[in-house]
Amino acid sequence: MFAKILIANRGEIACRVIRTARRMGIRTVAVYSEADANARHVRLADEAVCIGPAAARESYLVADRLLDAACRSGAQAVHPGYGFLSENDRFADACAAAGIVFIGPPATAIRAMGSKSAAKTLMAAAGVPLTPGYHGDDQQPAFLQRQADAIGYPVLIKAAAGGGGKGMRLVEKSEDFAAGLASCQREAISSFGSDQVLIEKYLRRSRHIEIQIFADMLGNCVHLFERDCSVQRRHQKVLEEAPAPGMTPARRAAMGQAAVEAAKAVGYVGAGTVEFIASASFAEDGSFYFMEMNTRLQVEHPVTEMITGQDLVEWQLRVASGEPLPLRQDQLDIRGHALEARIYAENPDQEFLPSTGRLLHLARPAESLNVRVDTGIEQGDEITPYYDPMIAKLIVWDVDRPAALARMRQALADYRIVGVNTNIDFLSRLVACPAFANADLDTGLIERSRDFLFPARSEPPSSVFFVAAVAGLLREHEAALARASHSGDPWSPWSLHDGWRLNIQPRRTLTYRSGDALHEVIIAYEADGWRLTLGSESVLARGRFLDSGQFAGQLAIELDDRRLVASVIAVTEKQEQKRHVFLNGTNYVILRDDPLHLVEAGGAHGGGLTAPMPGKVIVLLAAAGQQVDKGAPLLILEAMKMEHTITAPTNGRVKAFRYAAGDQVADGAELVDFEVTQ
């Protein structure tokens, strides 16, 4: 077994590998960019080496720097994690040439499966059914257009060297193909260094089923059952689970055997995943089609670990050191049900636009045998535009799917983040969505459940404002007691914050803002609490802060005969006094409207023609002086490996562009000088 390994990755997966290595007595070497100097994976590793500037192409994607770090540190092997160079055959070859073990498949297997086109050709020869499509080398746009027209719309354009949902475009009709192809190729070049694509028929009601396989150097190969990854947005997975609902033993055996044969066909070694697309009713009709093979450990591998009781990173380390597989196929079985939710810094209400910023407050659900959190982020860390904005993976297990769903609902309610937008509330709705709860799964679930998942904005319930008011009053009381304790007369009644006034009924008003609406909570001080009035509703309120323990700002509140437990986190961002009220599993964000704290009104400039986040201008789609209609595309901004089209907010004229193609822009930068016309 290795004495020391280098982890050629960052964030959550680096921390995950470190955890297993430490349990096995293996020392770890982390690598980090200048942006990650204080990252959690750097703090957890036994050693750490800086490999370059923040941009991945200048650090985590530079093979020579990674190998130099491995050689200088004396690491015997390199674990590539996922993403970056994990499926790069030249990196695997370079490791071998340097006498360092690559903890993954041989370069020949990566090459065989690294191109989606080549992999499909190989699978066709092996008799594995393929989705109708074009997988050839002719990449002329006109030829690809004809192929798509012949296949029939809708079609999916996919980067041949892609993965992780990058470099994929759904095209609904022929006239949209050219624009979809150009966009897909731009993203493919940016993410994978190749603009070669393939085209496949898009199945509207399909499920994404993947089989976890493992092979050793002795010719043994097993599968560790399936994962259902059908719940996706922008072709990226959102929720994964194992086993797949509705999977019959016969279908599981057939798909597992097909995956094992695919691995054996390329002389595979290590962890891999064979991905299939299946009809939504695959349990009845049994149809499934090969999509691709991922020659690495998958992001969603924890759900497989939870239902099998196996540590797949330990398997990787043992296989890479020459040991046989720990178990035979007949020794593997499924226990219970597991779900994984990916916690992202993004705004689901704005087309899942990534969010950047510092995590001012972070509370995770308590981990146990039923709840696991894999993360590379801690409170105070920053989500930067340089890397994927995933904060954590939340994994739950229980004896069956209904029990696991209940676990997930509670765990999501206990996850509390302030400082960036997150998808936690969206995930809570997704888990409660009737289609998901009833296992009516397909890759279009999010779109067909939009009414449930993206409800119209409504005002927070009155209890949110009452909770915020009580939290504010309690904090004022605590501050008064602290000041009194440091004064010359700590018992002076003048130091108390109890609202006492001579001969008058003490009253005050706290004003909160939600959207454009103002909410005034009138407070009357009474002997046994506060009388709170909001509009026509009036309650007697009492409260106390609980021992912070797991959740900071947590308090118990009584509103008449109703008892609530909530957390209120107060932060000031961009001159706004925000109150994050975590109540009944939802994060309500309201503003404290203090007349003594003048807040300059914000808003979109130029009709929203500002950069939504730091990024790079890819292409200008209009000319200076051009008249454009409302909704016309003006430019494309690439941020966090995603393209964002900036459109005209109304009819008008493009007076000038503030930046040229290729320029880097800051968050909130004015992009276009735009003149509104009638």
Does one domain contain both 346 and 254? yes
522 strand-pairing partners: 509, 533
Does one domain contain both 194 and 212? no
Does one domain contain both 338 and 446? yes
Q: Which letter does DSSP use for residue 399 in this model? A: S
Choosing from 82, 103, 124, the residue where a domain stops is: 103
Q: What pLDDT is stored for residue 118 in this prediction? A: 74
Choosing from 201, 216, 247, the residue where a domain stops is: 201
Q: Is residue 118 part of a domain?
A: no
Q: What pLDDT is stored for residue 598 in this prediction? A: 38
Does one domain contain both 349 and 321? yes
**DSSP secondary structure of 315-340:** HHHHHHTTPPPSS-GGG----SEEEE
Does one domain contain both 251 and 354? yes
**Structural domain tally of the chain?**
5
156 touches 100 (CB < 8 A)? no
Q: What is the mean pLDDT of residues 667-676?
A: 85
CA distance 436 to 451: 14
Q: Is 423 helix (H, G, I), strand (E, B) or coil?
A: coil
Separation in Å, CA 214 to CA 23, 34, 144, 575: 21, 35, 36, 53
Task: State if pTM tops 0.85.
Answer: no
386 touches 55 (CB < 8 A)? yes
Query: Residue 374: in which H helix or E strand, if any?
Result: strand 371-375
Does one domain contain both 444 and 492? no
Separation in Å, CA 261 to CA 69, 210, 215, 460: 37, 14, 11, 55
User: Vertex 31, ends 30 and 33: CA angle to 5°?
Assistant: 140
Query: Exposed, middle or buried, 619 (CB in 10 Å: 0-12/13-18/19+)?
Result: middle
Q: Is 659 helix (H, G, I), strand (E, B) or coil?
A: coil
Q: Is the peptide bond before 243 cis (omega within 30 degrees of 0)?
A: yes
Does one domain contain both 438 and 569? no
CA distance 354 to 642: 9
Q: What pLDDT is stored for residue 604 in this prediction? A: 33
How does pLDDT run across 251-291, given as a tens digit for each residue?
Answer: 899 899 989 988 988 899 999 999 998 877 665 566 788 88
How does pLDDT run across 39-48, given as a tens digit for each residue?
Answer: 999 999 999 9
Separation in Å, CA 12 to CA 21, 44, 70: 14, 11, 20
Q: Is residue 116 part of a domain?
A: no
Does one domain contain both 355 and 496? no
Q: Is residue 121 part of a domain?
A: no
Q: What pLDDT is stored for residue 607 in this prediction? A: 42
- Domain with residue 136: its CATH number is 3.30.1490.20
pLDDT band at 605 (very low <50, low <70, confident <90, very high): very low
pLDDT band at 516 (very low <50, low <70, confident <90, very high): confident
Share of the chain above pLDDT 70, in %: 92
Q: What pLDDT is stored for residue 601 in this prediction? A: 33
499 touches 525 (CB < 8 A)? yes
Does one domain contain both 571 and 509? yes
- Domain with residue 13: its CATH number is 3.40.50.20
How does pLDDT run across 437-455, given as a tens digit for each residue?
Answer: 999 999 999 999 999 999 9
Query: Residue 532: in which H helix or E strand, if any?
Result: strand 529-534
Residues identified as active-site: 296
**Can you list the positions of beta strands (E) in 414-455?**
416-418
Separation in Å, CA 346 to CA 241, 390, 568, 617: 22, 9, 21, 20
Q: What pLDDT is stored for residue 486 in this prediction? A: 72
Does one domain contain both 346 and 411? yes
Choosing from 411, 432, 453, the residue where a domain stops is: 453
Q: Is residue 560 part of a domain?
A: yes
The residues, any chain, with a CB within 8 Å of residue 78's CB and separated by 6 or more, are: 5, 6, 7, 8, 66, 67, 70, 95, 100, 101, 102, 103
How does pLDDT run across 298-309, given as a tens digit for each residue?
Answer: 999 999 999 999
**What mean pLDDT, rounded, does the chain reach?**
89
Q: Is residue 247 part of a domain?
A: yes
* Angle subtended by helix axes 107-114 and 116-125, to nearest 10: 90
How does pLDDT run across 354-366, given as a tens digit for each residue?
Answer: 898 999 999 999 9
Q: What pLDDT is stored for residue 564 in this prediction? A: 93
Residue with tokens 């695997």: 92
CA distance 285 to 495: 76
- Domain with residue 489: its CATH number is 3.30.700
272 strand-pairing partners: 213
Residue from 346, 349, 481, 500 nearest 423 by CA: 346
578 touches 596 (CB < 8 A)? no
Q: Identify the sign of the CA torsion 640, 393, 382, 569.
A: positive
Residue from 359, 355, 357, 365 nearest 379 by CA: 359
How does pLDDT run across 315-365, given as a tens digit for each residue?
Answer: 999 999 999 999 999 999 999 999 999 999 999 988 888 898 999 999 999
CA distance 546 to 548: 6
Q: Is residue 126 part of a domain?
A: no
Q: Domain range for residue 142?
A: 132-201
Does one domain contain both 480 and 621? no
Q: What pLDDT is stored for residue 282 in this prediction? A: 60
Q: What pLDDT is stored for residue 641 in this prediction? A: 62
Q: Is residue 109 part of a domain?
A: no
Q: Identify the sign of the CA torsion 394, 398, 401, 406.
A: negative
The conformational region for residue 178 under phi > 0 = left, psi -120 to 50 = alpha, else beta, is: alpha
First to last CA, the chain: 73
Residue with tokens 């990024």: 615
Q: Is residue 444 part of a domain?
A: yes
Query: Exposed, middle or buried, 170 (CB in 10 Å: 0-12/13-18/19+)?
Result: middle
Q: What pLDDT is stored for residue 502 in this prediction? A: 59
- Domain with residue 366: its CATH number is 3.30.470.20
Q: Could you tell me whether strands 4-7 and 27-33 are parallel, antiparallel, or unpaired per DSSP bridges?
A: parallel
Give the gyration radius of the chain's Cα atoms. Answer: 28
How does pLDDT run across 227-258, given as a tens digit for each residue?
Answer: 999 999 877 899 999 999 999 998 899 899 98
Does one domain contain both 195 and 217? no
